[in-house]
Structure 1
């Protein structure tokens, strides 16, 4: 387990629901990954990369909703600029995306 944090530490993390609107292969990534374009409603469109190629095919990801951290600074990954961090659970070294059980408005905060 990681160190205990207080509520104020957690409260600055901005978790939002978004919908994947575009998926591309990311051949320059060190580990197999996709480049995702995600619609966060009023927060706009953000891009990220995700190492989810073993559990997800591109066609299965289109229009899928997921949860992401949207208030990280941009990060250069190979020749790509990542603007958010999608959340997932690790199962046997594979990442399973966290997502709402029912469709919900893009940009909805996760509490």
Structure 2
């Protein structure tokens, strides 16, 4: 499993630096990134909230790199009276194209079917 989300670069963002562009995209699309990261915790029944940059962005080439995102993983179950939060970090790769930035989460191998 590897989650990939694309975000458009607004025309007025064309003049700012690449680092500021990534920081602005993370800040303005925090909820969407939370949805993307929630897929990594769905087996635990948790959702991700309050996504922000912890470290970076680090550019590996002119148009690609990675950023360390920090976020809250929230477990909630009203029936069992559970509401827990834990802060975690995850490295997310990005690639800047002409008019969009692609964020790619880590690859996590999925378990195959068990033999009977």
TM-score, normalised on structure 2? 0.27
Task: Tell which structure's C-alpha radius of gyration is larger.
Answer: 2
Q: Which protein has the bigger strand share?
A: 2
